[in-house]
Structures are given as C-alpha cells and as structure tokens.
C-alpha cells in the first residue's frame, strides 16, 4: 500500500471495459465516432466525483494549463458535462490523462498500516524535481511515500514500531516477490542499504506541489556502491533491473 488517501491512474479508467478493447488507438477511434461515443457515455462509471478528480498529467502543451485543476473545474470552464470533458481530454491529448482520485479515508489508511501482513510501495515512477519532469504534476507518493510512513505514521503517530516498518519496507516485499538475495542485511546478499535519521526523516511532497524530495536520508548504497553521501548524489549509477521468478527472457 501507499500511505495516502488518494489513488492515481488514467482518467480513462472510468470508461467501460468494452471501450478499451483493442488498445488506446481503438479507444480514441470509438470516442471520435458519435454513435459509439454515446454508448460509452451511457456506460461511464466515474471513479470519483468530478470535484475529487485532480488532473496531473497531460502531454499536449496546449492543454497543460489544465494541470492542477479538477475535472469539475475544467468542465465548468468548457461548458461541458464531466463525462464529455473526460472523453474530450482523452481524444485531444491522445493519452490516458493522468489524474489523482480522492476516494479514500485517513482512518482506513491507518488501519491498513497497522496490519502486519501489509507491505509498502509507492506505486509511482522514479522522478526528478527538475527538467522535463516539471512539465507535468504527479502523485506525491512518487517522492514521499516511504519517508511519510517513517515520519508521520511511525515517529509521529506510533502506529507501528520502527523495526516493524523497516521489515515491511524491505524483507517482506522482497520475500513476497521472491527477489534473489535482497531485502535484508545478510552475508552474501546484495548490499542495498539506506541510512536515515529516524528523528528527522520527513516527506514534503503535496498534491499541490508534489515535486519535493523528502529529507532525513543520509546515505544510500545500491549493489554495494554509495550513490548518496550526506544527502548528496555521488554520481554513481550501479542500479540494475531486478527480476523475480516470473520473468522470462524474450526469445
């Protein structure tokens, strides 16, 4: 799980499954056809109310002014229904249109964090707070999920002990995914190590300003090479793809 009360995916998730058959190109073709579009509209199941859908990613430069606005706000400006605006944006941007959906409760987040079999993941892309990444917004989980767990829910709210949180950030998910010699500090394992200050680690990414790094991490080692030293990148790039047993080489 990630430690936030909003999810994130493409706005096209609200469209019926039959409309997606054949992939994105087929979907756009259906939305361009008036008769099929009417059928799609009738079958739309909104993932969240329009005022709870925040637009965070658009590819077309002409549409990027809508980033940071809700679907309801864009629909109101355009004088269209939320359903028509949703479909219009998919066609105009020729993309899934990345959005954040505010559909969860803080009480449920706390309940799930306390469950001993739940591990933690960001479910977000690895991003940088500079260059092309700043042309779109994102979900704050991409920058803050793990620090948020350790700062807010471990140190601040004491929902789980620190050592239990570490296990569920490392050994538990590595074991679930059957990753070879990862997730623990043991002889013969790959040396992936994060050194942080438990009294200072803190997330800073928000829905309004998600491109903010967390603080409190001092050193990071990947495959035995130090990539972060006293909070600064060393320039080393020892990372590699990590595959579980389900991966098969392409013939």
Q: How far apart are the C-alpha atoms of 223 and 157, rounded to whole Å?
A: 33
Q: Is the pLDDT of residue 203 over 70?
A: yes
Q: Could you tell me the pTM of the whole model? A: 0.88
Are residues 146 and 127 part of one domain?
A: yes
Are residues 111 and 97 part of one domain?
A: no
pLDDT digits (tens, 9 = 90+) for 98-112: 999 999 999 999 999
How far is Cα of residue 169 from the mean position of the Cα atoms in its chain? Answer: 16
Q: Is the pLDDT of residue 127 over 90?
A: no
* Helix-then-strand count for the chain, H and E: 8, 7
Band (38; pLDDT cuts 50, 70, 90): very high
Position 251 scores a pLDDT of: 44
User: Which residues, listed in sequence order, are joined to residue 101 by a DSSP beta bridge?
Assistant: 7, 53
Q: What's the mean pLDDT in 50-76?
A: 95
Domain interval for residue 170: 107-233
Band (249; pLDDT cuts 50, 70, 90): low
Q: How far apart are the C-alpha atoms of 98 and 94, rounded to whole Å?
A: 12
Q: Are the CB atoms for 90 and 28 separated by under 8 Å?
A: yes
Are residues 96 and 129 part of one domain?
A: no
Are residues 71 and 133 part of one domain?
A: no
Q: Chain-wide mean pLDDT for the chain?
A: 94
Instruction: Give 81-114 as a DSSP string.
Output: -HHHHHHHHHHHHTS--EEEE----HHHHHHHHT
Residue 2 lies in a domain: no
Are residues 168 and 125 part of one domain?
A: yes
Domain count, the chain: 2
Residue 147 lies in a domain: yes
DSSP letter assigned to residue 184: S
Q: Is the pLDDT of residue 171 over 80?
A: yes
Which residue do the tokens 């092309």 mark? Answer: 132
End-to-end CA distance of the chain: 34
Position 243 scores a pLDDT of: 87
Q: What's the mean pLDDT in 112-139?
A: 90
Q: What's the mean pLDDT in 15-23?
A: 96
Q: How far apart are the C-alpha atoms of 139 and 145, rounded to whole Å?
A: 10
Distances, alpha carbon 12 to alpha carbons 31, 64, 91, 176, 228, in Å: 11, 18, 11, 30, 38
Are residues 45 and 126 part of one domain?
A: no
Residue 249 lies in a domain: no
Q: Is the pLDDT of residue 11 over 50?
A: yes
């Amino acid at each position: 799980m990630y430690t936030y009360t909003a999810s994130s995916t493409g706005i096209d998730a609200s469209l019926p499954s039959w409309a997606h058959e054949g992939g994105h190109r087929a979907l756009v073709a259906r939305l361009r056809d008036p008769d099929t579009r009417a059928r799609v509209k009738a079958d739309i199941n909104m993932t969240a109310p329009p005022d709870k859908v925040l637009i965070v990613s658009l590819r077309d430069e002409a549409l990027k002014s809508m980033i940071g606005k809700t679907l309801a706000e864009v629909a109101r400006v355009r004088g269209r229904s939320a359903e028509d605006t949703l479909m219009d944006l998919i066609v105009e941007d020729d993309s899934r249109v990345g959005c954040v959906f505010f559909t969860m409760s803080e009480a449920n987040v706390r309940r799930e964090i306390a469950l001993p079999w739940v591990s933690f993941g960001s479910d977000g892309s690895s991003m940088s707070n500079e260059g092309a990444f700043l042309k779109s917004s994102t979900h704050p989980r991409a920058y803050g999920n793990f620090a948020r767990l350790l700062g807010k829910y471990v140190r601040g709210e004491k929902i789980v002990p620190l050592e239990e949180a570490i296990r569920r950030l490392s050994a538990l998910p590595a074991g679930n995914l059957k990753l070879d010699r990862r997730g623990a500090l043991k002889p013969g394992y790959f040396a992936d190590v994060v050194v942080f200050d438990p009294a200072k680690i803190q997330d800073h990414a928000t829905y309004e300003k998600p491109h903010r790094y967390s603080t409190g991490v001092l050193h990071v080692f990947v495959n035995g090479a130090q990539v972060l030293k006293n909070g600064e990148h060393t320039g080393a790039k020892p990372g590699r793809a990590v595959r579980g047993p389900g991966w098969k080489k392409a013939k």
